[in-house]
Amino acid sequence: MDTTEILRRLVAFDTTSRRSNLDLVHWAADYLDSAGARVRLTSNASGEKANILATVGPDAPGGIILSGHTDVVPVDDQDWDSDPFSLISRDGRLHGRGAVDMKGFVAACLAAIPAWLARDLRRPIYLALSYDEEVGCVGVPLLIADMLAHCPRPALAIIGEPTQMRIGLSHRGFYGYRSVFRGRAAHSSDPRLGASAIEPAAALVAALAAFGDERSGGGGTTVNIGRIEGGSAINIVPERCEIVWEFRPPDATAAEAVLAVVEGLAAGLEAGVSVETVPLASVPPLNCNPDSPAVGVARQLGGLWPPITMPFGTEAGFFQQAGIPALVCGPGSIAQAHQPNEWIAISELAAADRFLARVGDWAAAEL
């Protein structure tokens, strides 16, 4: 099957993050296994979601990881001109949910498997497909841990998110939290008998907003307060207030600075008030050195230069955190992602096919 036909099959699986991805996983695993790849699956606690790790080539160190995710964002309340889960070709574009983000890249990798298997590879090629990337990169830590436990350490990872085949070297991280303040209810005629949960919550909102304002220029840390809820009536001192918030730092030092603000406020709460802050999402930033050997490999494969800084997060930071040099390079434009009538240009898939053919050349070359 060629890339377009495989993409047609992948789009037909509704892998919206709130649903199981197992139908797609089982189809892809059967395809990979029947072609001759070695396949490992890792599942979440409920068994409703799974990652795929497929290996082509020798059981040796120094291989390349090609990484993508299987889930897609919802189509609810979007005005599509066609069935989102049926691939439609129009004017040199292929439309369907996930066509660009990022089943197009996954389809190109799957289409390349038979050609890779036909070669005498000297380095392994790993295809790593994760679950629940769109809701906080939930599956990829499990995938990476399993890979490092059972496979020789690879030389680099390329995450195929849409960059129009440009090499992406950096992006900010994404960290989401829920902070729940608890106080003591009382009649508002004498607030001294209670302890407001809203007032310290408001202080945290103000501190986070000021932090973001000071550092958001020039690619620095951004902060967003996504939701705040508290209190029960105008004449009751509020005993509970909840804030859901997120921030996007360029590096680990910036992330620590935000969390220090939160810890400082928690340490100074008045008697009778407490706060519990729990993480909701944790996606580390990516900072790949332009002089890294991984960049040289990506350029050799046809990744376009000069590099870009991406405005969106990816799973690349997890590979980097695990000690595997990582970068981003994939077909299509992020501008089409998450949109009604999502599409990828056929020419972009052709560029991905050429890139992946060169992956086979690289893996077969003399060491």
Q: Is 215 helix (H, G, I), strand (E, B) or coil?
A: helix
Q: Is 64 helix (H, G, I), strand (E, B) or coil?
A: strand
Q: Which of 2, 14, 23, 71 is catalytic?
A: 71
The sheet with strand 93-95 has its strands ordered as 88-90, 93-95, 343-345
Rounded Cα distance between 365 and 173, Å, is 35
Please check whether residue 67 is in contact with residue 130, taking contact to mean a CB–CB distance below 8 angstroms. yes
Q: Verify whether residue 276 is a known catalytic residue.
A: no
Longest dimension (CA), the chain: 82
Rounded Cα distance between 281 and 294, Å, is 28
Distances (CA, A) of 349 to 33, 118, 334, 354: 24, 22, 14, 9
DSSP state of 289: -
Distances (CA, A) of 244 to 20, 220, 235, 269, 311: 26, 21, 25, 19, 22
What are 206's two structure tokens? 């103000």
Please check whether residue 264 is in contact with residue 200, taking contact to mean a CB–CB distance below 8 angstroms. no
Q: Is 261 helix (H, G, I), strand (E, B) or coil?
A: helix
What are 152's two structure tokens? 């020789």
Q: Which of 133, 239, 348, 353 is catalytic?
A: 133
Q: Which residue has the tokens 């066609």?
A: 82
Rounded Cα distance between 318 and 144, Å, is 8
> Residue 267: is it exposed, middle or buried by C-beta count within 10 angstroms (0-12/13-18/19+)?
exposed
Q: Verify whether residue 71 is a known catalytic residue.
A: yes
Rounded Cα distance between 118 and 258, Å, is 51
Question: Which residues have CB under 8 Å from 109's CB, separation 6+?
Answer: 66, 68, 127, 160, 356
DSSP state of 333: -
Rounded Cα distance between 17 and 249, Å, is 25
- Active site positions, annotated: 71, 133
